[in-house]
Chains A and B, each alone.
Chain A
Amino acid sequence: MSKGALLFAFNSPKYNYYEMAVATAKRINHFLNLPVTLVTDETSIPTDSNYVFDKTITVTPDKNNKRDWGIWINKGRYQAFELSPYDETILLDTDYLVNSNKLLQTFDLPTDFCCHDNTHFLMYPDIPQELLSNYGFKTLWATVVRFNKTKRAEQIFQSIEMIQKNFEHYANLHSFIHSTFRNDYALTLATRIVNGHTTPVSDYIPWNLVHVGKNTSIHKNTDDPFNTEYTVMFDNWNKGKIRKEYNIIKDMDFHVLNKENFLELI
C-alpha cells in the first residue's frame, strides 16, 4: 500500500502558494518521511525551483472565488481523490506547518476517511467551535484529510464537487454566506450526505486541529530549517488597551491562518 501527501498550490496575485508548498513538502519529507505530490498550474511553477516533488500534476484552476484580501484559488479540491497517486493519502493545506510525526498516526486509524472536527486556537483555549451558521452543524476542517482509495471516500469527494458546483443552493439550505466558497463547509455537508446524515465519530481525527488565529503571531525560536520550537505572541485587548502575552510551543503541528506570518516561518 503506497502512502503519500498531496498538496494543492495555485499562486494568487497576493501570495506565492508554490513557495509555501515547497516549504511544507520539505517538512513532510523530513518529519513524516512521505513523498509529496503537488497539484498546481503551469503559471505557478517557477523556473528556478530546485525542490523536486514526487509528482507534479498541472490542472487548470477555477479562479472564481474571492476573499476580503483578493482572489482565493481554493476550488477543485475534490479532484484529490482522482489525482492522488497513493493508496493512502494525507491531503494538507499548504499553510499547515508540520513539526512532528503526529500525522503518521492517521494511517493507523481504522477508517478510510477522516478529518478534524475540533480545533484549538493557540492563546484562545476557550473559543467555541465554528458552526456553519447560527443554527447549523459544527464545521469540519479540510486542512488535514486522510483518505484511502475506497468507494466511500470517492463518494465524499464526488459530493464535495456537487456542493462546490451548487454552493449557493447549499448556502441557502444551511443559512451560511455563499459569496466565498469554503472547502470546510463543502466537506462538512459532503460527509453528512455520504453517511446518511449521521456523524460517525470514526470520520474524525481524534485530536484537535491547532490554529494560529487572529491577534496572534508566531515566531521561530531558532534558524534551523526544521525548527520545531516557537514563541506565540498574542495581543490581548482589554478595556481599549493591548496587553502582550506569550507562550512557547514545541513539536506541535499547527495551521497558520495569517499567510504573511506563515511566509516568515519558512
Chain B
Amino acid sequence: MDTKTLITEAKARFNHNSAKAYLKDKYSSKLIVADQGGLWRADQQTISFLNSMSDNFLIVVIDTFNNPVQVNREKLLETLKDTYNTVMLEWHKEWSELEKKR
C-alpha cells in the first residue's frame, strides 16, 4: 500500500506540532559547525556577538563544549553566516511544504 492510500484509509491527520518539532530537531543539528579547533552553533546569538567584536582580529570565544578557543573573528563569522543562511533557507522551504498539509 502506498503512503497516500495509507493516510487516506487510516483517516490520519497531519500533526503540525510534531512536524515543527521534527524540523527544529533536524535543522538545529545542521547549525552546528566545527571550525578553528572549536565547535560552534551558527545561531543569532553567536553571529551577533562576533559582529559586535569588530575591532578585534583574534578573539577568544567559549565554544559549545565550553572550551575557550582563540579564533580569527572574521573567518568564523563568515562560516557561521553562510551556515545560518543555507540551513535556515532549507528549514523555511521544508516548513512551507509541510504547513500546507492537512
Contact with B along A81-117 (1 / 0, CB 8 A): 0000000000000000000001001001111000000
Does the CB pair A122–B22 fall under 8 Å?
yes
A204 to chain B, nearest CB (A): 9
| Contact for B29 among A208, A232, A236, CB less than 8 A | A208
CB nearest neighbor in B for A234 = B15
A201 is an interface residue with CB less than 8 A from chain B: yes
The total number of A-B Cβ pairs within 8 Å is: 88
Q: How far is the CA of A245 from the CA of B101 in the complex (A)?
A: 12
Does the CB pair A246–B28 fall under 8 Å?
no
Does the CB pair B15–A246 fall under 8 Å?
yes
A120 is an interface residue with CB less than 8 A from chain B: yes
Contact with B along A219-263 (1 / 0, CB 8 A): 111000000000111101000000111111111100000000000
A110 to chain B, nearest CB (A): 6
A111 to chain B, nearest CB (A): 8
Return chain B residues, CB-CB under 8 Å to A248: 19, 98, 101
B55 is an interface residue with CB less than 8 A from chain A: no
A233-B6 in contact given A202-B65, A245-B15, A246-B13 (Cβ < 8 Å): yes
Q: How far is the CA of A207 from the CA of B14 in the complex (A)?
A: 25
| Contact for A249 among B7, B22, B39, B65, CB less than 8 A | B22
Return chain B residues, CB-CB under 8 Å to A250: 94
| Contact for A123 among B11, B18, B28, CB less than 8 A | B18
Does the CB pair B18–A234 fall under 8 Å?
yes
Interface residues of chain A, those whose CB is within 8 Å of chain B, are: 102, 105, 108-111, 120, 122-125, 201-202, 206-208, 210, 219-221, 231-234, 236, 243-252
Interface pairs (17), CB distance under 8 Å: A110-B37, A120-B22, A120-B25, A122-B22, A123-B18, A125-B22, A201-B65, A206-B29, A207-B25, A207-B28, A208-B29, A210-B25, A231-B6, A234-B18, A245-B12, A248-B101, A252-B22
